[in-house]
């Protein structure tokens, strides 16, 4: 069980090469086989590359981030802690900037380009995130949004450039409930994350907590029969390959941010 305090500086990284054949769970429960937290590992020693100026454009104010209306969005409406990061092969872009690179609002690039304010999970990689002391609660419509860095060829939404991820939620970090993700050669991809451009970015006037305008993939807890969730897990299910010499560090799902739409503490 994770402490109820915000511990954004804590990061546990598991250097296990998660296989690309990690099974897709259907919508419903699956029992977690999460191992005990391993000792921290130095990302610098692994040769990972930092994302360019992570968080540089996220307008921080006391207690949170500046909202488009000039107010403040609580910091815990976004990720507050990386509970576990298990990168797959060819992961690593942005990892040296963890956890800051995935905290706070998205830095969307719009329809024509992907954000660089991301961490790459690698082939079959996985990340578990917390919003404590806040939590997602079921409200009218969608309850949280996952932001990747997908974009569209020529700005055409029917031609997305994608790295897909399977999204699961949990109230206790042990029992997980998974949205049905259907990767394939062309959209639609069901409830996978990572195929919708991100339009919200600090200072551009687009709210990161408005599913109608923010971009990314929005999720409704009621679709899984849940009233609340404190953790989100994302597993890469992209069709990328880990090839080349030297190996790239940009393969797989690229996480920018997650925002709570309906929060226990608005």
21 within some domain: no
Domain count, the chain: 1
CATH number at residue 162: 2.60.120.260
pTM: 0.82
Which pLDDT does position 180 carry in this prediction?
Answer: 97
Q: Report how far residue 50's alpha carbon sits from residue 115's, in angstroms, rounded to the nearest whole number.
A: 14
Query: Is residue 235 within 8 Å of residue 88, measured between CB atoms?
Result: no
Kind of pairing between the strands at 81-86 and 11-13: parallel
What pLDDT, on a 0 to 100 scale, did the predictor assign at position 244?
85
Q: Give the residue ranges of the chain where pLDDT is below 70.
A: 1-57, 59
Class of residue 75 by CB neighbours under 10 A (exposed 0-12, middle 13-18, buried 19+): buried
Any residues with CB less than 8 A from the CB of 169 and at least 6 apart, and which? 136, 176, 177, 219, 221, 224, 226, 229, 231, 232, 233
User: Does residue 51 lie in a domain region?
Assistant: no
Quick check: is 23 in a domain? no
DSSP bridge pairs for 258: 146
Domain extent for 151: 61-266
> For residue 18, is it within any domain?
no
Cα–Cα dist 182/162, whole Å? 13
On whether residue 92 sits in a domain, the answer given is yes
What confidence score (pLDDT) does residue 57 get? 59
Report if residue 20 sits inside a domain.
no
Q: Domain for residue 27, yes or no?
A: no
pLDDT at res. 51: 44
Q: CA angle, corner 128, sides to 125 and 133, nearest 5?
A: 165
In a domain, 242, yes or no: yes
């Amino acid at each position: 069980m994770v402490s109820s305090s915000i511990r954004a500086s804590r990061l546990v990284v598991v250097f296990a090469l998660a296989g690309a054949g990690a099974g897709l769970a259907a919508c419903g429960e699956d029992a977690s086989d999460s191992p005990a937290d391993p000792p921290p590992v130095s990302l610098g020693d692994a040769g990972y590359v930092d994302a360019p100026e992570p968080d540089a454009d996220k307008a921080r104010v006391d207690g949170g981030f500046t909202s488009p209306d000039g107010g403040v969005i609580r910091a815990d409406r976004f990720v507050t802690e990386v509970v576990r990061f298990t990168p797959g092969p060819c992961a690593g872009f942005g990892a040296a900037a963890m956890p800051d690179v995935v905290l706070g609002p998205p830095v969307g690039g719009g329809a024509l380009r992907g954000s660089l304010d991301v961490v790459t999970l690698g082939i079959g990689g996985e990340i578990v995130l917390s919003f404590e002391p806040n939590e997602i609660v079921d409200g009218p419509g969608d309850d949280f949004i996952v932001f990747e860095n997908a974009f569209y060829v020529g700005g055409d939404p029917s031609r997305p450039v994608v790295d897909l991820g399977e999204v699961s939620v949990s109230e206790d970090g042990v029992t997980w409930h998974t949205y049905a993700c259907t990767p394939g050669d062309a959209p639609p991809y069901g409830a996978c994350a990572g195929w919708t451009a991100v339009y919200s970015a600090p200072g551009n006037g687009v709210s990161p907590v408005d599913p109608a305008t923010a971009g990314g993939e929005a999720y409704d807890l009621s679709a899984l029969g849940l009233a609340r969730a404190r953790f989100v897990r994302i597993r890469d299910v992209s069709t990328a390959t880990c090839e080349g010499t030297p190996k790239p560090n940009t393969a797989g799902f690229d996480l920018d941010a997650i925002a709570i739409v309906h929060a226990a503490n608005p």
